[in-house]
Amino acid sequence: MAITNIYQPAKTTDISEAFHVNRPPILQKIGNTPLLPITSLTRDISPRVKIYAKAEWFNPGGSVKDRPALRMIEQAELRGDLRPGMTIIDATSGNTGIGYALVGAAKGYPVTLVMAENVSLERKQIARAYGAQLIFSPAEEGADGAIRLVRDLVARSPESYYYPNQYDNPDNWLAHFYGTGPEIWRQTDGVITHFVTAVGTSGTFTGVGRYLKMRNADIQLLSVEPLDADNAIEGVKHMESAIVPGIFDPGLKDGEVRVTSEQARAMTRRLIREEGLFVGFSAGAAIHSALQVARTLDEGVIVTVMADSGAKYVSLWRQPHSTL
């Protein structure tokens, strides 16, 4: 069950690519990220079970969210919804906002981002470095507070803004249907048996999941969510207590794995120190969950997603409760 061509890029099947021959060079580097084997942390599972993870910080904006940010903006251009002089605005926990800011800078659009006050310092600084204007919602309201605030701002001045609305925009999951999903299929030579990933907007889960089910209906799709509303994990939604994204398709999943914030942080720490993978907390939640699934199998190929690197969370590790 060896994997070959791990670093071989997938060819897109998205017909809309034909319209983007003038895409700025930096935006051409979005996608085709490497699929890395998890080795040190898998020593206690069956040798016939393999875990691989997409290293999404290889995207130029540093996260998996570059993919939907690019597609949402370019499809809006094609439809005429986004025109010169308009400002791109959306609610974000940071990574999609950075993706918007990157694309906006490359294409010449101003970007305004609405985010909770407690978003990590690094994500705020990176977004500002790209030229984005930041508006903050109360920390205690989390991502949902940012969503409510951005809707209010757009309602006041609808002609000034293009509001992608990443939580309800089908181009979010289609970015993964046409990009991430085919890459995973190609990189595993089609022998993937399980896809396990954290859900935030749910674009990755929905898009990759639909593509993989199209290729092989027996592939198991498992979502990763916090154990409950009190276990906050950066970039991961607890659906029962949150505004559920319109693109989320709960009927798509074959199961779910629940993770505590401490389990996510502990696994993030282990990934850094035992695998040499400096990743964010959602990656810790994803790998913890993939290992939980692996321990129930005699054989299989599990793929998950490491959404971003740990460089955007260094300030959070410095907090008093951290033991990194």
Residue bearing tokens 């319109």: 246
Can you name the residues that pair with 197 across neighbouring β-strands? 223
Amino acid at 297: L
In angstroms, the CA 294 to CA 48 distance is: 10
CA distance 324 to 322: 6
The residues, ordered by sequence, that sit 6+ positions from 282 with a Cβ below 8 Å of its Cβ are 198, 200, 233, 234, 235, 236, 264, 307, 308
CA distances from 89 to 94, 132, 257 (A): 13, 10, 33
282 is known as an active-site residue: yes
The Cβ of residue 47 has, within 10 Å, a number of other Cβ atoms equal to 9
Query: What is the token pair recorded at 322?
Result: 């951290």
Q: Are 233 and 281 in contact (CB under 8 A)?
A: yes
**Burial grade of 20 (CB within 10 A; 0-12, 13-18, 19 or more):** middle
- Of these residues, 93, 137, 202, 282, which one is catalytic? 282
Q: How far apart are CA 97 and CA 10, in angstroms?
A: 26
Query: Alpha-carbon distance 48 to 193, whole Å?
Result: 12
Token output for 148: 């409510």
- Residue of 281, 284, 282 lying closest to 314 (CA atoms): 281
Q: Exactly one of 50, 54, 63, 65 is catalytic; which is it?
A: 65
Residues recognised as catalytic = 65, 282
